[in-house]
Structure 1
Amino acid sequence: SQFWAVRGAEAQAGYPKGIRTLGFPASVGKIDAAFSDKEKKKTYFFVGDKYWR
């Protein structure tokens, strides 16, 4: 139900934060995986068989 922002090997100040701050619906209790595409400047979050960008 929370996430951290990490740069290199260090967690950023002000974290963890609740996943609701990212705009996830109340039905999402946890994120299974996340992937950041630096080239496209997009982050993908995976929950079960769904994903958000």
Structure 2
Amino acid sequence: HFTFTVKIKKHGSADWTSVMYFAEVRGIFMIKDYFCYPLDPDENGMRNFTL
């Protein structure tokens, strides 16, 4: 899995917003499942997921 931060700047604004994301890729029977979602500020990305 991957945990990464994305910085977003709104058009016309000088301010940047940081959002942490969780992403995972799993291969089952030669089929890849992709999962990515933004984390809440109090989350660290360490969860158990069933894809």
TM-score bracket, shorter-length normalisation? 0.3 to 0.5
> Comparing both structures, which one devotes a greater share of its residues to strand?
2
> Comparing both structures, which one devotes a greater share of its residues to helix?
1
Larger radius of gyration: 2
So what's the TM-score if we normalise by structure 1? 0.33
Q: Does 1 or 2 have the higher relative contact order (CA < 8 Å, sep 6+)?
A: 2
